[in-house]
């Protein structure tokens, strides 16, 4: 159990809310499909249902949380806004977000979707947005069923079959062991028992949390490195510039690791989006040049140039172009 007194520590509260979920709590949605060499694959994305979100709030906050819903109009479209409030250090703090009403069970679906979005504002499941896209093979049997129409090679097709869920938490650190924060059943930051059966001191808790965050950051960097195809030598050059020293990033402190993460993350997010929309390297450079307002010759020029704001701007250009092409 993650339960804690929400009236005491905002830092521990936010860390407990943001703890990754176990595999059984993760669900999958098929986003698109493709076919190559007679092999059909589907793009699947992880998400949480509202019950998992409410369970996390109950476990962490006990009775110290509440949700309020309001129907609003956004661009002539009905939507529900959720105000999710949690008692933090004896004060009720609210964060809110909204979602359009769903086609099925409009009120219940609208409440559920807006609650999940408001929960992300508190860090619940936010890490799922930073994970890579997963293409999995469509098979005759598996864990999850696929049934619906998808556009493949510019033609609508009715697909049915099954797929097995990817392993979300298979991120390895330099020792080859699974990242401790994302390992199934790993110790949660708010666990009460210490191996010696005594309560850990605040100093030990802070050290444990920092070690977990370091391991998490290293895991993401390793994953980004693999996806981006960075050689060891080039990664060392990037790390040296980001950290301002020759120290191997695996031995860097948390603050320096964040600097390297912030260099890699926007490029990773951009490349993942381009792959999702089947953009070739020439188109990738074309779109990246728009917000950067400079000519690019290769993808490596994006490091230290593409921040999250410019990355999001570029992604919007890509999505807009793709929507216009599909509408033609």
Confidence of residue 228 (pLDDT cuts 50, 70, 90): confident
Tens of pLDDT, residue by residue over 46-80, are 999 889 999 999 988 888 899 998 888 766 678 88
Whether 299 maps to a domain, the answer reads yes
Instruction: Yes or no: say if 163 and 202 are a contact pair by the CB < 8 Å rule.
Output: no
CA 54 from centre of chain: 19
Instruction: Yes or no: say if 46 and 133 are a contact pair by the CB < 8 Å rule.
Output: no
Residue 223, pLDDT score: 79
Instruction: Yes or no: say if 188 and 16 are a contact pair by the CB < 8 Å rule.
Output: yes
Q: Total structural domains in the chain?
A: 2
Asked whether residue 122 falls in the same domain as residue 209, the answer is no
* Average pLDDT of the residues of the chain: 79
Tens of pLDDT, residue by residue over 101-132, are 654 445 566 788 899 999 999 999 988 887 87
- Out of 69, 97, 131, pick the residue that ends a domain: 131
Spatial distance between the Cα atoms of 115 and 79, rounded to a whole number of angstroms = 12
Question: Range of 71's domain?
Answer: 10-131
Whether 1 maps to a domain, the answer reads no
Spatial distance between the Cα atoms of 281 and 274, rounded to a whole number of angstroms = 9
Whether 65 maps to a domain, the answer reads yes
Residue 13, pLDDT score: 86
Span of 57-71, 91-105, 205-219, 314-328 with lowest mean pLDDT: 205-219
Average pLDDT over residues 84-112: 77
Percent of the chain with pLDDT over 70: 80
**Residue 84 burial class via C-beta count within 10 angstroms: exposed 0-12, middle 13-18, buried 19 and up:** buried
Asked whether residue 127 falls in the same domain as residue 211, the answer is no
Whether 31 maps to a domain, the answer reads yes
Spatial distance between the Cα atoms of 249 and 142, rounded to a whole number of angstroms = 39
Instruction: Yes or no: say if 21 and 52 are a contact pair by the CB < 8 Å rule.
Output: yes
Asked whether residue 126 falls in the same domain as residue 207, the answer is no
């Amino acid at each position: 159990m993650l339960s804690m007194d929400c009236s005491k520590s905002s830092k521990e509260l936010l860390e407990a809310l943001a703890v990754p979920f176990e595999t059984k709590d993760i669900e999958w949605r098929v986003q698109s499909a493709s076919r190559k060499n007679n092999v059909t694959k589907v793009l699947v994305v992880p998400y949480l249902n509202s019950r998992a979100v409410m369970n996390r709030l109950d476990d962490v906050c006990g009775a110290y949380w509440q949700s309020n819903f309001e129907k609003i109009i956004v661009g002539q479209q009905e939507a529900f806004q959720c105000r999710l409030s949690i008692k933090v250090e004896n004060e009720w703090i609210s964060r809110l977000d909204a979602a359009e009403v769903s086609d099925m069970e409009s009120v219940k679906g609208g409440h559920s979707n807006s609650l999940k979005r408001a929960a992300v504002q508190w860090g619940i499941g936010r890490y799922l947005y930073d994970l890579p896209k997963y293409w999995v093979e469509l098979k005759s049997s598996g864990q999850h069923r696929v049934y619906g129409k998808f556009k493949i090679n510019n033609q609508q097709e009715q697909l049915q079959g099954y797929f097995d869920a990817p392993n979300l938490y298979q991120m390895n650190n330099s020792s080859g062991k699974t990242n401790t924060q994302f390992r199934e059943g790993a110790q949660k930051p708010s666990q009460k028992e210490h191996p010696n059966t005594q309560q850990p001191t605040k100093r030990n808790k802070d050290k444990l949390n920092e070690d977990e965050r370091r391991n998490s950051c290293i895991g993401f960097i390793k994953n980004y490195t693999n996806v981006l195809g960075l050689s060891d030598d080039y990664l060392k050059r990037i790390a040296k510039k980001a950290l301002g020293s020759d120290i191997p990033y695996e031995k860097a402190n948390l603050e320096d690791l964040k600097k390297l993460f912030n260099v890699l993350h926007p490029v990773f997010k951009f490349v993942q989006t381009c792959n999702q929309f089947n953009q070739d390297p020439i188109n990738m450079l074309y779109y990246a040049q728009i917000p950067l307002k400079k000519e690019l010759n290769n993808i490596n020029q994006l490091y230290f140039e593409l921040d999250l704001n410019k990355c999001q701007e570029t992604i919007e250009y890509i999505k807009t172009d793709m929507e216009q092409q599909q509408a033609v």
